[in-house]
Amino acid sequence: MDGDGTYDGLFFAGVTTTGVFCKPSCPARKPRPERVEIYGTAREALFAGFRPCLRCRPMGDGGAAPGWMDALIGRIEENPGRRVRDADLNADGLDPVAVRRAFKRRFGMTFQAYCRARRLGEAFAAIKGGASIDDAVFDYGWESHSGFRDAFLKMAGRPPGSARAEDFIRLAWIDTPLGPMIAGATAEALCLLEFTDRRMIEAQFATLSKRFGLPAMPGDSPIFGRLRDELGEYFAGRRKSFGIPLAYPGSDFQRRVWAGLLGIPYGETRSYSELAVELGLGPGAGRAVGHANGLNRLAVLIPCHRVIAADGGLGGYGGGLWRKLRLLEREGAVQAATG
């Protein structure tokens, strides 16, 4: 740890003598190398038994993307059709391998995959808006029709010409004090909000596309601007409920449980069996309620974190128990969660 913020987001350092882990830019005194263990993600450091440093706050403000990553994403957003090659990254003083790994950890895809998906999303929207396939091919960085068609078919599961008749699920990444989240939205509503390091995130994409019958790819939506604002207010303690339109298709039982979650007031918790009783299912349905709870695709907004174990323990949480605890702390329900 040498105070250099260039490497923030690329790794985390656990200090064995103090039991804390830090960002590379932490201003604390530099420990001896033999007392440092390196982890690729904050999640790995947490599971290794280290706690977040109170000085550099790797789980707080440290959840934001490092400056170089923000700048790189900004360049892509200015011109999504531009191809960025390894030589371009080298020219900017960035190591392509480090960039690839950092994007993989943060977004679940490499930088080149992110760029490719972003170009496909823009091309999809252009074709849907009436642009010709020829225009989409060459305006968004492909060198041949076959290359574009193959990439489009792989991501969307259908040929490019079908785009004019269909919508798609737009995906965006949202920074929060608890780490980055991936959001998905149709033209009308938010349909996905998950922490990017959740183990089931890829299965969520597949389920989402199947439920809506739409491909999912990076894109922009007015819903995301509203989501960022409302999440910012929530984490700042100025918002207790959300007004964003939600879409959460599922079985009748799942939707019943998710509606029950929306009915748990801010600052309160329920056990799985208590929620089952409130839903008219009886306490014996607690396990089934817990399973449906775990399949919720709209973290925080559909507050599955407010459901705890019968003994007052935290129970489970797909986004990580430490996040569940932090959410309950912010809502003033931590005593109910810890007994």
Q: Among 42, 19, 16, which Cα is nearest to 320's?
A: 42
**How would you class 315 by CB atoms within 10 Å of its CB: exposed for 0-12, middle for 13-18, buried for 19 or more?**
buried
Give exposure, 148-170, as e/b (b: 16+ Cβ within 10 Å).
bbebbeebbeeebebbeeebbbb
The answer to whether 256 and 279 have CB atoms below 8 angstroms apart is yes
**Cα separation, 248 vs 113, whole angstroms:** 27
Instruction: Exactly one of 26, 56, 191, 304 is catalytic; name it.
Output: 304
Is 304 one of the catalytic residues? yes
Reading the block at residue 272, the tokens are 């799985």
- Cα 322 to Cα 12, 181, 263, 314: the distances in Å are 17, 15, 23, 9
Task: Please tell me the distance from the alpha carbon of residue 105 to that of residue 293, in angstroms, as a whole number.
Answer: 26
In the set 22, 26, 115, 191, the catalytic residue is: 22
338: left (phi over 0), alpha (psi -120 to 50) or beta: alpha
Report which of 170, 159, 165, 250 is spatially closest to residue 207, judged by C-alpha positions.
250
Q: Report, as residue numbers or ranges, the catalytic residues.
A: 22, 304
